[in-house]
Amino acid sequence: MPFTSNLGSIMKDKDMTYEELQHMSKVAPDTVARARDARIATCKLLTLEKLAKALGVEVCDLFTHVKG
């Protein structure tokens, strides 16, 4: 996959747990877990927007493109 998830490091920087993020973003716990460790293959833009808003970052901050 050409993208690396930054979700875990952003959560750590903000001292936020899975439970806090799922509650604030209203995103399902399994989706948050999959997005954190890059097991997520597809995701709706609305879901990414919810996660980014809850974390106080931009959608583009959630993942880094890795050139292969």
How many domains are there within the chain? 1
Question: What residues make up the domain containing 27?
Answer: 3-65
pLDDT digits (tens, 9 = 90+) for 23-60: 999 999 988 988 887 677 788 899 999 999 999 999 99
**β-sheet bridge partners, residue 65:** 3
The answer to whether 5 touches 60, Cβ cutoff 8 Å, is no
> Is the pLDDT assigned to residue 19 strictly greater than 70?
yes
Single pTM value for the model:
0.86
Per DSSP, helices labelled H in the chain are: 7-13, 18-25, 29-36, 45-55
Contact 52, 62 (CB under 8 A): yes
pLDDT of residue 16: 95
- CATH number of domain containing 26: 1.10.260.40
Angle subtended by helix axes 18-25 and 29-36, to nearest 10 = 120
